[in-house]
Amino acid sequence: MIPFVGERDLLLSSLGKQKSEDMLLRLFVNDIFPNELSEGRDFVELEGAGYAPKKLIASEWVVDELAVYPMQTFDFTGRSAPVYGYYVTRQKSGVLILATRFSDGPYEIDGPRAKIRITPRIGRQGLSKSVVAMAGV
């Protein structure tokens, strides 16, 4: 799901009306359903368990029919709140670019062997089906 604020940001960046920024891939733990009106402040980011957001560098996106970013793996060092999905924001401005709720979530982070793997994809229809995998305990 690319919300209205994300569409506007991507459009302004692509037309050279604003400087593009790197993005951050984040995990959220509140039980919400992202929609067109969502903003970054609507999401509660995971804390603890060795979690840190992943920086998405603009030059690493591969664009053909879809924009695809290389798989990102979140490795955990302990237990955490259930993870309902992920969202992407601009690194400096914090503008929400896209968000998705896991279709088979929430994912329980039960211990240090747990991992969440995400391959973000953006298509003509907004957020394309991202590849998401949960592994671990």
Q: With left for phi above 0 and alpha for psi between -120 and 50, is residue 50 left, alpha or beta?
A: left
pLDDT digit string, tens, across residues 92-101: 888 999 999 9
Q: What pLDDT is stored for residue 137 in this prediction?
A: 40
Burial class (CB in 10 A: 0-12, 13-18, 19+), 33: exposed
- Cβ atoms of 89 and 23 closer than 8 Å: yes
The amino acid at residue 96 is L
Its domain, for residue 63, covers 4-135
pLDDT digit string, tens, across residues 52-70: 999 999 889 998 888 899 9
Q: What pLDDT is stored for residue 124 in this prediction?
A: 60
Banded model confidence at residue 11, pLDDT cuts 50, 70, 90? confident
Banded model confidence at residue 79, pLDDT cuts 50, 70, 90? very high
Q: Looking at the 3D structure of the chain, how many domains does it have? A: 1
Burial class (CB in 10 A: 0-12, 13-18, 19+), 23: buried
